[in-house]
Structure 1
Amino acid sequence: PRQFKIPDWFLNRKKDHKDGRYSQVVSNALDMKLRDDLERLKKIRNHRGLRHYWGLRV
């Protein structure tokens, strides 16, 4: 998508925390990235991560 001049705000992976790039991720990879992000938030004891951990609305 980047090679076709699609704007960054249109991609589904904004500012990856590991490499800082915008990208378009599909299906299984998107699920895996989301799960990794939630685990990272839980690990650093972020407010959003804790609410996911406790099963509350975020």
Structure 2
Amino acid sequence: SDEELRKIEAALKAPSKFNIPSWMFNRRKDLETGKDMHLIGSDLELRVKQDIEFMKSIRCWKGWRHSLGLKVRGQKTRTTGRTGRTVGVQRKKVA
């Protein structure tokens, strides 16, 4: 119902008021403020982009990987995650 939707929206906007534990927030110990926050929608997307740009600017390892377009979290890159055109393989003609 409408009342339940309002409660859910309020809980998402201010989860600390509803006794939701901080480990469930999607932004804990913010770099700028040091507070635990739960961001939704475009606010979350904007903050993630800002974090990536910050990592690039301080030239940390994750920032380097982001700027090169490579995997960031330690995955293997030898065979997976390839981009660009593929090279086809041709069979030998039967004599």
TM bracket, shorter-chain basis: over 0.9
- TM-score computed with the length of structure 2 as normaliser: 0.60
Inter-partner Cα distance in structure 2 for 1:8 and 1:48: 25
1:15-54 matches, cutoff 5 A: 15-54=29-68
Task: Give structure 1 regions of 4+ aligned residues with deviation exceeding 6 angstroms.
Answer: none
Length, aligned pairs only = 58
Unaligned 5+ segments in structure 1 are none
- TM-score normalized by structure 1? 0.96
Taking every aligned residue pair, what percent have the same amino acid on both sides?
A: 38
Does 1 or 2 have the higher relative contact order (CA < 8 Å, sep 6+)? 1
Pick the structure with greater CA Rg: 2
1:14 and 1:54 mapped to 2: Cα distance?
A: 27
Which residue identity does 2:31 align to in structure 1? H
CA drift of 1:14 comes to 1.3
RMSD: 0.6
Q: State the distance in 1 between where 2:33 and 2:56 align.
A: 20
For residues 10-54 of structure 1, give each alpha carbon's deviation from its aligned partner in whole angstroms, at most 9, with x where no partner exists.
001111100000111011000000000000000000101110000
